[in-house]
């Protein structure tokens, strides 16, 4: 990676209108609708809802700058890139029918050493078009496994949130569909490892995997169900670490600890007893 060029690179600003169809398609992609007659689900997937609401984790998806890290002049070994952590803070709810614009910046790079990779810290601010009101702040951490020895701009990474040592206060079990990745990709992430079995196997997976941000969306639903009464306006922020891939059709069990407004959580795949999301922290009203 060329650190100097990366720090000077202008990540494109994106603008998009959030249509009711976008909101409903995303909700279906993260599994909303498993209770098809429940108003708590219909508020996200039925245009007759007054008002139609947006799953908060959609802030991670809308106005995403795309594969900018693949620009040749940056010399990033993007094939070896992994999504390490993701977090978002909601300053006001997303609303269907409004247009949004993003601004993006590199917060820093932490070099782990030659042969050990590097960490890239990114931030996206999402604003309403026109009014300029800040809607969400989204932070992403990428692990650049092939770019160790590039140099650092920060000395250390943020420590992961510690999960309480006591037994969880509750848990939420949510199944994913075998076709979940094929639905979720229509919200904008067309990476073929989520659809093409041949390419998935070349990448080291036995079959196409579920998008990490889709798993995050499922965990968001679990936190809203357990701690927010399915009211998206009560979810103020959420952050987690990706631990292992999920395969479409697997069941995600999210263990939850509640300490006042702070919610700690982690998610396992029931069928394999594998921890896939860890160090989760949310703040709820």
Helix (H, G, I), strand (E, B) or coil at 96: coil
Are residues 280 and 213 both part of a single domain? yes
Closest by Cα among 203, 187, 206, 285 to 248: 206
Please pick, among 209, 211, 217, 280, the residue that the annotation labels catalytic.
Answer: 209
Gyration radius of the chain's alpha carbons: 19
pLDDT tens, 106-119? 999 999 999 899 99
Q: Domain tally for the chain?
A: 2
Query: In this predicted structure, what is the pLDDT of residue 80?
Result: 84
Per-residue pLDDT, 215: 98
Strand order in the sheet with 99-111: 15-17, 99-111, 118-128, 134-144, 81-90, 235-242, 274-284, 262-269, 251-259, 170-175
Residue 280 lies in a domain: yes
CB atoms within 10 A of CB 144: 24
Q: Is 96 domain-assigned?
A: yes
- Determine whether 194 is an active site residue: yes
Looking at the DSSP assignment, which residues form a beta bridge with residue 282?
238, 263
What CATH number does residue 70 fall under? 3.10.129.10
pLDDT digits (tens, 9 = 90+) for 221-230: 999 999 999 9
User: How far, in Å, CA of 132 to CA of 101, rounded?
Assistant: 9
Residues 178, 269 within the same domain: yes
Active-site residue 199, yes or no?
Answer: no
Digit-coded pLDDT (tens) for 119-172: 999 999 999 998 999 999 999 999 998 999 999 999 888 899 999 999 999 999
Catalytic choice (29, 31, 117, 212):
212
Dihedral angle computed from the Cα positions of residues 174, 180, 185 and 190, in that order, rounded to the nearest 10 degrees: 120
Question: Which pLDDT belongs to residue 66?
Answer: 84
13 burial via Cβ count (<10 Å: 0-12, 13-18, 19+): middle
Q: Are residues 12 and 93 in the same domain?
A: yes
- Cβ-count burial of 97 within 10 angstroms (0-12 exposed, 13-18 middle, 19+ buried)? exposed
Flag whether 156 is in a domain. no
pLDDT band at 104 (very low <50, low <70, confident <90, very high): very high
Annotation says 125 is catalytic: no
Residue 149 covered by a domain = no
Looking at residue 156, what is its pLDDT?
A: 87
Which residue among the candidates 189, 196, 231, 249 is catalytic per the annotation? 189
Cβ(97)–Cβ(22) below 8 Å = no
Amino acid 32: pLDDT: 98
CA-based diameter of the chain, in Å? 56
> Are 70 and 199 contained in the same domain?
no
Same domain, residue pair 274 and 187: yes
Instruction: Give a yes or no: residue 162 inside a domain.
Output: no
In a domain, residue 157? The reply is: no
Q: What local confidence, expressed as pLDDT, does residue 234 receive?
A: 98
Mean pLDDT of the chain: 95
Residues 174 and 237 in one domain: yes
Look at residue 44 and tell me if it is in a domain: no
**Mean pLDDT, range 251-262, rounded to an integer:** 98
Q: Are 125 and 177 within one domain?
A: no
The question of whether 84 is a catalytic residue gets the answer no
Residue 82 has pLDDT above 90, yes or no: no
Tell whether 210 and 273 lie within a shared domain.
yes
Query: Tell me, what's the pLDDT at 204?
Result: 86
Residue 10 structural domain: 3-18+54-144
Q: Are the C-beta atoms of 278 and 163 separated by less than 8 Å?
A: yes
Last residue of a domain, one of 99, 127, 144: 144
Please tell me whether residues 100 and 10 are part of one structural domain: yes
Mean pLDDT calculated for residue range 41-64: 96
Residues 191 and 274 in one domain: yes
Identified catalytic residue from 194, 211, 230, 280: 194
When mean pLDDT is compared across 50-59, 60-69, 222-231, the lowest value belongs to 60-69
- Whether 275 and 266 have beta carbons less than 8 Å apart is answered as yes
Q: Does the model's pTM come out above 0.75?
A: yes
Whether residue 215 sits in one domain with residue 137: no
Is residue 191 scored above 90 in pLDDT? Answer: no
DSSP 169: S
Residue 27 lies in a domain: no
Contact status, residue 219 vs residue 280, Cβ threshold 8 Å: yes
Instruction: For the chain, give the number of residues.
Output: 285
- Please write the tens of the pLDDT for every residue from 2-29: 999 999 999 999 999 999 999 999 999 9
- Residue pointed to by tokens 């709810």: 93
**Separation of alpha carbons 271 and 33, rounded Å:** 22
Cβ atoms of residues 101 and 59 within 8 Å: no
Q: Is the pLDDT of residue 99 over 90?
A: yes
In this structure, are 204 and 255 located in the same domain?
Answer: yes
């Amino acid at each position: 990676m060329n650190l100097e060029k990366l720090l000077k690179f202008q990540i494109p600003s994106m603008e998009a209108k959030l249509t009711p169809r976008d909101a409903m398609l995303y909700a279906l992609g993260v599994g909303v609708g498993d209770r098809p007659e429940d108003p708590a689900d219909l508020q996200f997937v039925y245009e007759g809802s007054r008002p139609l609401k947006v799953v908060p984790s959609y802030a991670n998806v809308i106005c995403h700058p795309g594969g900018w890290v693949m620009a040749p002049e940056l010399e990033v070994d993007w094939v070896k890139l992994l999504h390490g952590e993701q977090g978002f803070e909601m300053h006001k709810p997303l609303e269907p029918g409004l247009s949004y614009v993003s601004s993006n910046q590199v917060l820093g790079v932490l070099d782990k050493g030659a042969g050990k990779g590097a960490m890239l810290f990114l931030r996206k601010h999402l604003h309403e078009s026109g009014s300029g009101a800040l809607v969400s702040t989204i932070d992403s951490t990428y692990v650049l496994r092939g770019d160790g020895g590039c140099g650092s701009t920060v000395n250390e990474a943020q420590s992961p949130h510690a999960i309480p040592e006591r037994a969880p206060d509750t848990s939420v079990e949510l199944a994913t569909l075998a076709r979940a990745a094929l639905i979720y990709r229509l919200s904008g992430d067309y990476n073929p490892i989520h659809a093409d079995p041949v390419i998935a196997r070349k990448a080291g997976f036995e079959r196409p995997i579920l998008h990490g941000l889709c798993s995050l969306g499922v965990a968001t639903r679990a936190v809203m169900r357990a701690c927010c009464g399915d009211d998206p306006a009560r979810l103020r922020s959420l952050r987690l670490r990706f631990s292992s891939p999920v395969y479409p059709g697997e069941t995600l069990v999210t263990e939850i600890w509640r300490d006042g407004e702070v919610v700690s959580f982690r998610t396992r795949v029931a069928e394999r007893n594998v921890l896939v999301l860890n160090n989760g922290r949310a703040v709820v009203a």
